[in-house]
Structure 1
Amino acid sequence: MKDIKIEDFKVTEAIQLKNIATAFDLKADKKEIEDELEDVREKLGDFQNTIYAHGKYAVLVCIQGMDTAGKDSMIREVFKDFNTRGIVVHSFKVPTELERDHDYLWRHYIALPARGKFSVFNRTHYENVLVTRVHPSYILGENLPDVNSVDDVNEAFWDKRFEQINNFEKHIAENGTIIFKFFLHLSKDEQKNRLLRRLEKPSKNWKFSPGDLKERKLWDNYQACYEDAINRTSKPHAPWFTIPADDKPTARYIVARILYDTLIQYKDIEEPELDDDILANLDTYIKTLESE
Structure 2
Amino acid sequence: MAEKADKADHTDRRARRIADFIAPLRVPPGSDVDLAADYDPRYRAHLKKAQGAELLRTGVELLAEYQARLAAQDTYGVLVCLQALDAGGKDGTIRHVMTGMNPQGVQVSSFKVPSDEELDHDYLWRYARRLPARGDIAVFNRSHYEEVLVVRVHPEVLDRQKLPPSARRRGIWERRYREINDWERYLTDNGFKVVKIFLNLSKEEQRTRFLKRIDLPEKNWKFSAADVRERRFWDDYQRAFSEMLSATSTEWAPWYVVPADRKWFARICASAVLVHTLMELDPRYPTVGKKAREELLNVRRELEAEAPEGASEDPYAAAHPGAEPPLPRKRSRKGKAARR
Match of 1:44 in 2: 63
Give the share of equivalent positions with the same residue, in percent.
Answer: 38
Query: Any conservation in 2 of the 1:136–1:153 contact (CA below 8 Å)?
Result: no
Show structure 1 runs of 5+ residues with no match: none
SS of alignment partner, residue 59 of structure 1 = strand
Match of 2:318 in 1: none
Q: Post-superposition shift, 1:39? A: 1.3
Query: Any conservation in 2 of the 1:186–1:245 contact (CA below 8 Å)?
Result: yes
Aligned mate of 1:200, from 215, 231, 234: 215
Query: Any conservation in 1 of the 2:73–2:286 contact (CA below 8 Å)?
Result: yes
Match of 1:253 in 2: 268
Match of 1:166 in 2: 181
Q: Aligned partners of 2:162, 2:249: CA distance in 1, in Å?
A: 29
Q: Aligned partners of 1:70, 1:266: CA distance in 2, in Å?
A: 27
Match of 2:288 in 1: 274
Aligned mate of 1:14, from 32, 36, 60: 32
Q: Post-superposition shift, 1:153? A: 4.7
Match of 1:287 in 2: 301
Q: Post-superposition shift, 1:291? A: 3.4
SS of alignment partner, residue 121 of structure 1 = strand
Q: For residue 239 of structure 2, what is the amino acid of its counterpart?
A: A
Q: Aligned partners of 2:88, 2:287: CA distance in 1, in Å?
A: 43
TM-score, normalised to structure 2, is 0.80
Q: Aligned partners of 1:229, 1:58: CA distance in 2, in Å?
A: 24
Q: Aligned partners of 2:224, 2:21: CA distance in 1, in Å?
A: 37
Match of 1:66 in 2: 85
Match of 1:30 in 2: 49
Matches within 5 A, 1:1-292: 4-12=20-28, 13-19=31-37, 20-146=39-165, 153=168, 155-267=170-282, 269-292=283-306
Larger radius of gyration: 2
Q: For residue 71 of structure 1, what is the amino acid of its counterpart?
A: K
Q: Aligned partners of 1:156, 1:265: CA distance in 2, in Å?
A: 36
Q: Aligned partners of 2:251, 2:74: CA distance in 1, in Å?
A: 23
Match of 2:313 in 1: none
Deviates most, 157-166 or 94-103: 157-166
Q: Aligned partners of 1:154, 1:63: CA distance in 2, in Å?
A: 29
Q: Post-superposition shift, 1:290? A: 3.5
Q: Aligned partners of 1:7, 1:35: CA distance in 2, in Å?
A: 20
Query: Any conservation in 1 of the 2:108–2:139 contact (CA below 8 Å)?
Result: yes
Q: Aligned partners of 1:168, 1:278: CA distance in 2, in Å?
A: 39
Q: Aligned partners of 1:265, 1:183: CA distance in 2, in Å?
A: 20
Query: Any conservation in 1 of the 2:195–2:277 contact (CA below 8 Å)?
Result: no
CA deviations 1:161-187 (Å, max 9, x no partner) are 222111111111111111111110000
Q: Post-superposition shift, 1:53? A: 1.0
Q: Aligned partners of 1:231, 1:276: CA distance in 2, in Å?
A: 51
For these two proteins, the number of residue pairs brought into alignment is 286
Q: For residue 123 of structure 2, what is the amino acid of its counterpart?
A: Y
Q: RMSD of aligned C-alpha atoms?
A: 1.7
Q: Aligned partners of 2:254, 2:52: CA distance in 1, in Å?
A: 25
Query: Any conservation in 2 of the 1:198–1:208 contact (CA below 8 Å)?
Result: yes
Q: Aligned partners of 2:82, 2:145: CA distance in 1, in Å?
A: 10
Q: Post-superposition shift, 1:289? A: 2.1
Q: Aligned partners of 2:259, 2:173: CA distance in 1, in Å?
A: 27
Show structure 2 runs of 5+ residues with no match: 1-16, 307-340
Q: Aligned partners of 1:214, 1:121: CA distance in 2, in Å?
A: 24
Deviates most, 104-113 or 20-29: 20-29
Query: Any conservation in 2 of the 1:53–1:116 contact (CA below 8 Å)?
Result: yes
CA deviations 1:254-273 (Å, max 9, x no partner) are 11112112321234x21110
Q: Post-superposition shift, 1:246? A: 0.2
Q: Aligned partners of 1:154, 1:166: CA distance in 2, in Å?
A: 20
SS of alignment partner, residue 264 of structure 1 = helix
